[in-house]
Amino acid sequence: MNLYQQWEKMIEEQGRSKKVDYNKFIEEYLQKEKEVYEQILADHTQTVSGTCSELAKKFGMSAPEFAGFIDGINTSLKEEINLEELTEDTHVTLDIDYEKLYWNMLDAQAEWLYTLPAWENILTEERREEITKDYKQSKIVVKPKKVGRNEPCPCGSGLKYKKCCGK
């Protein structure tokens, strides 16, 4: 069983336990995740690299928990990692696109992550505001104007819509 499958199994087993235990498990994981992000963001000029077991130990996580972390950051990497092939001996490189990571944190509504003070040393406040604005605009749904039956047909025939494409 690869590390990612072990991670999924851990989540599944916790989901079957009492709600209090599951919530405690998730809170503990999210705290570990926050600490990993704080370390990575604090030393953002260095690319994180090593085997899964080495990196898990470095960041104070179990190997399956680290696989869960990789799952969360994977779409923010310049080159995604195949989660199905992760083992403790798999060498991984976390070459992070920090603007994409910030966007993905906004998308995940992870305020505890995108408000970390370490972001100030990576992206300027103006750039973070710009990414936030672009993110919010991407979530706005714009419906096209409905053609009225007595308006000219949009196909360009010169007829009213009701006599042309609206039949």
Tell me, yes or no, whether 164 lies in a domain. no
Tell me, yes or no, whether 70 lies in a domain. yes
Q: Which domain holds residue 73?
A: 3-123
Cα–Cα distance measured from residue 102 to residue 61, given in angstroms and rounded to the nearest whole number: 23
Tell me, yes or no, whether 158 lies in a domain. no
The domain total for the chain is: 1
The packing angle between helices 98-107 and 125-138, to 10°, is: 50
pLDDT tens digits for 95-142? 999 999 999 999 999 999 999 999 999 999 999 999 999 999 999 988
167 pLDDT more than 80: no
Tell me, yes or no, whether 81 lies in a domain. yes
Please name the residues in contact with 143: beta carbons below 8 A apart, sequence gap of 6 or more: none
17 pLDDT more than 90: no
Tell me, yes or no, whether 132 lies in a domain. no
pLDDT tens digits for 117-128? 999 999 999 999
Tell me, yes or no, whether 118 lies in a domain. yes
63 pLDDT more than 90: yes
User: What number is the average pLDDT over the span 50-77?
Assistant: 95
Q: How are the residues of the chain apportioned to helix, strand and coil, as percentages rounded to the nearest 5?
A: 60, 5, 35
Tell me, yes or no, whether 7 lies in a domain. yes
Tell me, yes or no, whether 157 lies in a domain. no
Whole-structure pTM value: 0.81
Would you say 96 and 72 are in contact if contact means Cβ atoms under 8 Å apart?
Answer: no
Please name the residues in contact with 47: beta carbons below 8 A apart, sequence gap of 6 or more: 93, 94, 95, 96
